[in-house]
Amino acid sequence: MPAGFTAAALAERFALELIGDGGLVVSGVATLAHATAGQLSFLSNPRYRGQLADSQAGVVVMRAADAEDYAGTALLAADPYVAFARIAALFDPPPPLEPGIHASAVVHASASVDPGAQVDAFCSIGARSRIAAGAVIGPGCVIGDDCVVGEGSRLVARVTLVRRVRLGKRVLIHPGAVLGADGFGLAMDAGHWIKVPQQGGVLVGDDCEIGANTTIDRGAIEDTVLGDDVRLDNQIQIGHNVRIGAHTAMAGCAAVAGSATIGSYCLVGGAAGILGHLEVCDRVMITAMSLVTSSIREPGEYSSGTPLMPNREWRRNAARFRQLDTLARRVNAQDKPARDKED
């Protein structure tokens, strides 16, 4: 970790306007509430604005509008969160690459590992798979046959690429994720299930991030596809043949059923679900725990569900939901004589 940066150096490096003491040195980042004089913090979410006055932070990144009454040292940014993210990265460099294959790793004779790649302990790499330069395969990963890990991609630990998974460049995959498992393809035949072969693969674009214990099945015939810069949180389930457009992000526990097509720049909330064989256009936002049951053709924000209530109230209202159609018919019937009278 570096010794520190002056406020002036940070201002210059990230093209931010400086107010206050440019010679102030910061050696780390912290929240407004807990920062010390040697740390940098940020104000982006208005709900934390009240913490600014009492903050001990040496330097605070904020919008110009928030700095008007501020007596301390500040770096002004149109988007303080973006500026903070860039500055914070200076204090959190990735672990240095240690190229080479750990003695315990098992690499198939037909696989190719670039001399500039790092393969850690207890990894297994299958037939015809290729690991590019700058890639890191952390401890305990299993890479099956016919996979590709692109330049600078990092599988943190215990990631599985089952078969025919091709990752672009700078893809980051967290522990426990499983890409390329069989899609869930079944056909009922005379009272028994028969398995439908899953002959496709998974294609992941550049700069994607895939969370811990997330699963992405390989396609039945063609590939399951993630565009560039797709960001998936933990415990997400992506069924076979799904296609996700570039820059789409999904929060934890979201699930997309087979053969759904999702556009670019979509935001899918936590534990939201998208049924199979649907299309969701670009720039759609689905709120948490909502269920998408038909295609969405207009950008915008969509929701389902009911509000949270004390259980006693909820029971009364939920019981009425059972009668909602009857209730609506009765209101209609009441309206009718009223309208008849008006005639």
If one asks whether residue 330 binds its own copies (CB under 8 A), the answer comes out as yes
Q: Which of 222, 279, 282, 283 binds its own copies (CB under 8 A)?
A: 222
Nearest distance, CB of residue 93 and its own copies, angstroms = 9
Residue span binding its own copies (CB under 8 A) among the ranges 11-19, 50-58, 67-75, 194-202: 194-202
**Active-site annotation holds for 240:** yes
Rounded to the nearest 5 degrees, what angle is found at the Cα of 140, between the Cα atoms of 136 and 145? 75
Residue span binding its own copies (CB under 8 A) among the ranges 2-10, 12-20, 55-63, 291-299: 291-299
Residue written as token pair 């498992």: 181
Q: Which is nearer to its own copies, 17 or 321 (CB)?
A: 321
Binders of its own copies among residues 154 to 173 (CB under 8 A) are: 156-158, 160, 162, 172
Neighbours of 1 (CB within 10 A): 9
Q: How far apart are CA 253 and CA 271, in angstroms?
A: 4
Nearest distance, CB of residue 111 and its own copies, angstroms = 13
Q: How far apart are CA 87 and CA 4, in angstroms?
A: 11
Q: Which of 66, 146, 151, 207 binds its own copies (CB under 8 A)?
A: 207
By DSSP bridging, strand 59-62 and strand 284-286 are unpaired
Q: Which of 229, 243, 245, 263 binds its own copies (CB under 8 A)?
A: 229
Cβ atoms of residues 284 and 297 within 8 Å: no
The residue annotated as part of the active site, out of 34, 192, 240, 277, is 240
Q: Which of 99, 175, 279, 283 binds its own copies (CB under 8 A)?
A: 175
Size of the site for its own copies (CB under 8 A): 129
Give every CB contact of residue 92 below 8 A, 6+ residues apart in sequence.
none
Q: How far apart are CA 200 and CA 196, in angstroms?
A: 12
Q: Which is nearer to its own copies, 71 or 190 (CB)?
A: 190
Binders of its own copies among residues 269 to 288 (CB under 8 A) are: 270-271, 273, 275, 277, 285, 287-288
Nearest distance, CB of residue 149 and its own copies, angstroms = 16
- Bridge partners for 226 per DSSP: 204, 244
Binders of its own copies among residues 56 to 75 (CB under 8 A) are: none
Q: Which of 12, 23, 199, 336 binds its own copies (CB under 8 A)?
A: 199
Q: Which of 130, 164, 166, 247 binds its own copies (CB under 8 A)?
A: 247
Q: How far apart are CA 226 and CA 42, in angstroms?
A: 33
Residue span binding its own copies (CB under 8 A) among the ranges 7-15, 58-66, 68-76, 316-324: 316-324
If one asks whether residue 343 binds its own copies (CB under 8 A), the answer comes out as no
Give every CB contact of residue 6 below 8 A, 6+ residues apart in sequence.
22, 23, 24, 25, 26
Residue span binding its own copies (CB under 8 A) among the ranges 3-11, 16-24, 79-87, 111-119: 79-87
Which of 224, 115, 215 is CA-nearest to residue 175? 215
Nearest distance, CB of residue 168 and its own copies, angstroms = 14
End-to-end C-alpha distance for the chain, whole angstroms: 82
For 235-272, b/e burial (b = at least 16 CB within 10 A) is bbbbbbbbbbbbbbbbbbbbbbbbbbbbbbebbbbbbb
Catalytic positions, please? 240
